[in-house]
Structure 1
Amino acid sequence: MGGRTATRLLPAALLLAVAAGCAGPSTAYKRDLHQQLAAGRYEEAAARIDALEHEYGERNQVLFWLDKAAVLHDAGKYAESDALLDRAELRLDALYTQSISKAAATFLWNDGADDYRGEPFERALLHVLRALNYVYLHQQDDALVEARKVSAFLTGLNDKLAGKQVYRDDAFAQYLSALLYEEAGRQDDARISRDRALKAYEWYATDYRTPAPSFAAEPLAPGQGELVLLHYNGIAPRKTSQSVQVAWNDAVAVVGADEEGRTNQQVNNALRAGIMADAITVAFPAYVQDPYQVRGSRARAGRLAVETQLVEDISAIARKALADRIAAIRVRAIARATIKFVLAKVAEKQVEERAGKGFGMLAGVLARSVAAGSEVADTRAWTTAPAEIRMARLPLPAGHHQLVVEYLSQAGAPLKVETLEVDVVEGKRSWVHVRSAF
């Protein structure tokens, strides 16, 4: 890289550093949103998301749609929720099929420089919410389409990651698909999805401490139907940035191990010289689970009382998914920060040779500031998703019922009671969901 080129790059790099700071909504915004969800003010939360759409930015449109769609789902606006989930799905499909041309920029700038492509478990949850939106809208055929789509997505994921101890299937999505297929009379599809759910719950028990729920259900008596209660509990963990100092020699070793030829000879020479550095500072993402009081729930209808079972621990899945790839994230971050530091020193030296020591020092300060300012962790995540999903299945006489939902503390004491009006149809399965975020 010539001195003139390095000098020209500095102003552009400064502008990019400012742009890099737009990594999605702020922590304060997320906390405010969580408070609205805890209070059950879903329409206010949706309005808040709309008002701050600009904070998401173009790279994070998928996150904007996901955040608002989940809130609208909780508000009972299922058609509006599905329209946003459809947009998110189409965008994710486009990002998946297109060439990842921004990969180099992501490596040289930061992991947030690319469009948000979502986590695999978020993609599965997208289809789960779409299927449930259609269930509540009594559009069973469309719900089955989502069941097929999530099954196809998870099959592809499982084939790609077979044998690896990572998130490779989604037990609850498969369980839900089995129930939808069963309701539609497609017993073979229901059996396949149920078998896959059971298999996934086997490693869920180890990786996420989520034991398999009871799949057994007594045959409905004449005049009975089944009510399925879904309880979305807590708020999904949020990502934060953690800064760590890495010894210079360790950082050089990471860059030296790069086999993709991203560093030129001049950078390698500077690395070997160890230019004025004892250590570099890098940033890694980490999940933080905000506490929530509700640890379980119980549904009562007449004399029947059933406690919900944990069917999906989204918080545990998210944290384990990050842990599974944190080593690769750290290596990439260390290599990137080291190269940026060296490029800054190279630019400083070349400007000094061309324009004098004072200009060289100024160029060095600017270049190092840009390098440090652009090295931020990617803290993007689906903000409005629940921390966990719980389920209860209640066989009830056909007709109208008052369903009492008790939100329970860790000790099993009721923290809050909510009453819902529900209708049960003979020989059919009815669905209802509740949300707690406090």
Structure 2
Amino acid sequence: MIKALRHCVLILQIMLLSGCATYGAGLNGAISDLRKGDFQASEKKITQELSPTGSDRLLYHLELGMLRHLEGRYQESNVLLEKAERIADDLETRRISDELAVMMTNPRMGSYAGAEFERVFINFYKSLNYIELAEQSVTRNEQLDNLEASRVEARRLIIKLNDISDRKGNYKQKKDKDEETFSKLLSVFSKLMGNLVNSDDWQYRDDAMAHYLAGLSFEMNREYDNARISYQKAAEAYEGGYTKQYFLDDDTIQQAWFDTIRMMRDGGGYENEWPELAQKKLNKHWQNELEKWQRRQTQLVVIEDKGLAPQRKEMNLELSVNPGLRSLQLRPYLVGNDRDELAWFYVLYADKNLTQLVSGYLNITRSTYQPVFFTKTVPLGPLWYQAERLGLTEAIGNSLRVTVPYYGRLQQQGPSTLHVDHQSLPMIRASSPAMIAVQEQLVNAGADIRSALARAAFKALTALTTAKVADKENAGLYAFAGKLLMQLTDAAETRNWLLLPNDIRIRRVPVAPGEHQLELESALLKAGQKVHREAVTLEDGDIHLWRVRTLDGAPAK
């Protein structure tokens, strides 16, 4: 019996090191079809992988909603995204006790509620869908209805952005003996916080591009003062740190102030204020641009979604006990880790200050950098005795597998250039969902590792206690096998909205009424260059939105 059990233990160890399939791995086939422009095949794979009623129901509606958006089926996209918004709102109000129960087993067994920025992008793309529907409208009344619907989504965006910090909470609840033990384990692992991110500097607290889109929606609806307010919020966010935090183009600040001042000039009531603000906020180039723009100028607005959001992955770490130092030690497994995992581990657990954190991550993933293994030692001090009383040190022993989420290196996106009326204009990088996702993961890394450690330790304690009750003579071996079995059920939270773009770029151009040939050259550093073309005919005072999505391997439209 014991010999057979040892063979099982060996097999389990091999299975543990192989890791679990991530959410992204399950959708790689759908993404591959999307890159080829085969929307039907992509949809089939998404619906095979995700359920509209299961724990991934939010992602089902998000991914399909974005797929419909890319197909140009904007009404169907909004139906799906509206459902996604209701699901996200409902999940946001779920009971804390339910969340705690999921954390003690496996985060991926619970319903995915979406990240803060993903919930904002639901309204972002709903608003864009309505603008696109307004562009396609046959009658003036239909066009006005769609612009009004876009305005409603813009207001929802503003409400979400105003409330976003209030909707972040944590849990402090003790209900039964299991939950009390789990909370005590969390207090032990809270010592790990010393070298993790502990600052609001990288929090997702606002979205300048969302404010900017709201401004565009209001302007298209001829609500010029509301447009001014939204453009100004965008300008203040870009200028206040959004551009720097997410590594965007400096012209984001100029563009947002330019449109703020333009609305002040065109809407009236600010005749004395706007010239002074233009002198203060706009450089010479943008001041000259302002002179070129007439009131109620016919204009072209180009928004390019480029690339795809990064996939969240799972990293396996090994936790062990060092009785001599009365400490815990955490390190990557010596096999099965790729370069990005080691880079993530190095950046998060090395003694670095906050400023070095993001820059260190970006530098460490370059091919010329050679990350090295190292062990993070966490002295527990007086908490050592609490850990012993709980049975934690015995349960951990020489090795305990811990799983945490991480992101690999970001996709590199080349420049994009708009050609119109003999002008060649660089597209402005105005938002980066990819960078937002990575920074949110960096900020949440402390909570992720603490809950992962506590979850793994809780399972190990349960296995040890059960083994001692079942067979005192062979309790150690049974506990080890039980610990491995329980760890097979563990997995990090690797779900995220994969069909979001890597980054979003924008350009606004004043044009004369009439016909125009548009061309967008979009460089992808690893996939050559895509060229998108479109012919448009504009009437006096029109604001025409040209939406472009550039993907590796996808045919240009």
Residue 204 of structure 2 is aligned to residue 85 of structure 1: no
Q: Relative to structure 2, which stretch is displaced further, 187-196 or 316-325?
A: 187-196
Aligned to 1:393, the other structure's residue is in SS state strand
CA contact (8 A) 1:224 1:398 kept: no
Residue 218 of structure 2 is aligned to residue 181 of structure 1: yes
CA contact (8 A) 2:220 2:543 kept: yes
Residue 194 of structure 2 is aligned to residue 73 of structure 1: no
Higher relative contact order (CA 8 A, sep 6+): 1
Out of 28, 49, 54, the position equivalent to 1:31 is 28
Aligned to 1:397, the other structure's residue is in SS state coil
**In the aligned structure 1, how far is the partner of 2:76 from the partner of 2:541?**
30
TM-score, normalized by length of structure 1? 0.83
Map of 2:423 onto structure 1: 304
Aligned to 1:153, the other structure's residue is in SS state helix
The residue identity in structure 2 corresponding to 1:423 is T
Q: CA deviation at 1:318?
A: 0.5
Q: CA deviation at 1:296?
A: 2.0
Out of 531, 552, 557, the position equivalent to 1:417 is 531
* 1:387-431, Cα deviation, whole Å (9 max, x unpaired): 0011111222223332111112569x9712221133323212111
Distance 1:26 1:315, change over 3 A: closer
Residue 163 of structure 2 is aligned to residue 167 of structure 1: no
Distance 1:52 1:269, change over 3 A: closer
Residue 139 of structure 2 is aligned to residue 150 of structure 1: no
**In the aligned structure 2, how far is the partner of 1:302 from the partner of 1:113?**
54
Q: CA deviation at 1:68?
A: 1.1
Residue 278 of structure 2 is aligned to residue 281 of structure 1: no
**In the aligned structure 2, how far is the partner of 1:233 from the partner of 1:95?**
30
- Output aligned runs, 1:14-53, within 5 Å: 25=23, 27=25, 29-53=26-50
- Output aligned runs, 1:378-393, within 5 Å: 378-393=493-508
**In the aligned structure 2, how far is the partner of 1:223 from the partner of 1:208?**
32
**In the aligned structure 2, how far is the partner of 1:387 from the partner of 1:170?**
15
Residue 239 of structure 2 is aligned to residue 205 of structure 1: no
Out of 492, 517, 520, the position equivalent to 1:405 is 520
**In the aligned structure 1, how far is the partner of 2:528 from the partner of 2:23?**
34
CA contact (8 A) 2:27 2:45 kept: no
CA contact (8 A) 1:295 1:408 kept: yes
CA contact (8 A) 1:46 1:72 kept: no
Residue 125 of structure 2 is aligned to residue 129 of structure 1: yes
Q: How high is the sequence identity, in percent, across the aligned residues?
A: 26
Distance 1:267 1:58, change over 3 A: farther
Residue 467 of structure 2 is aligned to residue 348 of structure 1: yes
Out of 425, 433, 443, the position equivalent to 1:314 is 433
Q: CA deviation at 1:307?
A: 1.7
TM-score, normalized by length of structure 2? 0.66
CA contact (8 A) 2:108 2:492 kept: yes
**In the aligned structure 1, how far is the partner of 2:541 from the partner of 2:94?**
46
Q: CA deviation at 1:207?
A: 1.8
**In the aligned structure 2, how far is the partner of 1:222 from the partner of 1:349?**
81
Q: CA deviation at 1:59?
A: 0.5
Which ranges of structure 1 fall in alignment gaps of 5 or more residues?
1-20, 259-264
CA contact (8 A) 1:105 1:113 kept: no
* 1:228-251, Cα deviation, whole Å (9 max, x unpaired): 111110110101101111232428
**In the aligned structure 2, how far is the partner of 1:426 from the partner of 1:363?**
80
**In the aligned structure 1, how far is the partner of 2:83 from the partner of 2:20?**
22
The residue identity in structure 1 corresponding to 2:41 is E
* 1:365-385, Cα deviation, whole Å (9 max, x unpaired): 553233211221110000111
Q: CA deviation at 1:276?
A: 7.0
**In the aligned structure 2, how far is the partner of 1:296 from the partner of 1:120?**
28
Map of 1:243 onto structure 2: 316
Map of 1:12 onto structure 2: none
Q: CA deviation at 1:49?
A: 1.6
Q: CA deviation at 1:362?
A: 7.9
Aligned to 2:305, the other structure's residue is in SS state strand
Aligned to 2:498, the other structure's residue is in SS state coil
Which ranges of structure 2 fall in alignment gaps of 5 or more residues?
1-18, 135-145, 169-198, 260-289, 322-326, 330-377, 553-557
Distance 1:275 1:324, change over 3 A: closer
Aligned positions, number: 402
Map of 2:391 onto structure 1: 270
**In the aligned structure 2, how far is the partner of 1:110 from the partner of 1:193?**
41
CA contact (8 A) 2:432 2:504 kept: yes
Distance 1:238 1:140, change over 3 A: same
Distance 1:134 1:254, change over 3 A: farther
CA contact (8 A) 1:254 1:335 kept: no
Aligned to 1:431, the other structure's residue is in SS state strand
Aligned to 1:227, the other structure's residue is in SS state strand
Q: Relative to structure 2, which stretch is displaced further, 375-384 or 188-197?
A: 188-197
Aligned to 1:347, the other structure's residue is in SS state helix
**In the aligned structure 2, how far is the partner of 1:222 from the partner of 1:171?**
25
Distance 1:382 1:255, change over 3 A: farther
Q: Relative to structure 2, which stretch is displaced further, 170-179 or 424-433?
A: 424-433
Residue 300 of structure 2 is aligned to residue 227 of structure 1: yes
Distance 1:422 1:256, change over 3 A: farther
Residue 449 of structure 2 is aligned to residue 330 of structure 1: yes
Aligned to 2:298, the other structure's residue is in SS state strand
Aligned to 1:228, the other structure's residue is in SS state strand
**In the aligned structure 1, how far is the partner of 2:424 from the partner of 2:155?**
33
Residue 484 of structure 2 is aligned to residue 369 of structure 1: yes
Map of 2:358 onto structure 1: none
CA contact (8 A) 1:92 1:117 kept: yes
Q: CA deviation at 1:105?
A: 1.3
CA contact (8 A) 2:147 2:220 kept: no
Q: CA deviation at 1:83?
A: 0.6
Aligned to 2:471, the other structure's residue is in SS state helix
Aligned to 2:511, the other structure's residue is in SS state strand
Aligned to 1:59, the other structure's residue is in SS state coil
